[in-house]
């Protein structure tokens, strides 16, 4: 027979496990590394390092106000792609996160009139 106390204990254990998982994920998330970002050998293989690095770039606001020259030094040359032509720079990050993984995630960047970054975000195709 299941008691209320048993249900409460099970719920507490699940909450602690979930919290521990979130903390672990946060602590082990890679921060941005320009060499790793530009390493073509690892970009297209799991664990798709650009996904977490792009999150870090956006969270810390690293791209805000960068000149296009600084952006190229940081992220590499503007890749050729047919996707998201309305953006000034588009970088493939990896397959979308989640269970389905049907689409890809991309870092898209808009430059202002002075050729500095005015907006950057992660989008899916």
pLDDT digits (tens, 9 = 90+) for 73-125: 999 998 899 999 999 999 999 999 988 889 999 999 999 999 999 999 999 99
pLDDT score recorded for residue 9 = 76
CA angle 50, 103, 123 (to 5 degrees): 60
pLDDT given at position 5: 75
In angstroms, how far is the first alpha carbon of the chain from the final one? 50
Q: Residues 18-27: pLDDT tens digits?
A: 444 444 444 4
Q: What is the pTM of this model?
A: 0.75
Domains of the chain by residue range: 1-30, 32-124
DSSP letter at 67 equals B
> How many CB atoms sit inside 10 A of residue 11's CB?
10
DSSP letter at 104 equals E
- Angstrom distances, CA of residue 19 to CA of 24, 25, 42, 70, 110: 9, 10, 30, 38, 36
């Amino acid at each position: 027979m299941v008691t209320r106390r048993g249900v409460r204990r099970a719920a507490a254990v699940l909450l602690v496990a979930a919290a521990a998982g979130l903390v672990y994920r946060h602590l082990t998330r890679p921060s941005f590394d320009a060499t790793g970002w530009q390493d073509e050998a690892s970009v297209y293989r799991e664990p798709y390092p650009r996904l977490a690095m792009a999150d870090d770039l956006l969270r810390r606001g690293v791209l805000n106000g960068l000149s296009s020259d600084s952006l190229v030094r940081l992220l590499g040359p503007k890749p050729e792609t047919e996707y998201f032509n309305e953006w000034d720079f588009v970088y493939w990050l990896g397959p979308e996160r989640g269970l389905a993984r049907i689409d890809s995630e991309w870092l898209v960047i808009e430059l202002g009139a002075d050729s500095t970054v005015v907006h950057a975000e992660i989008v899916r195709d």
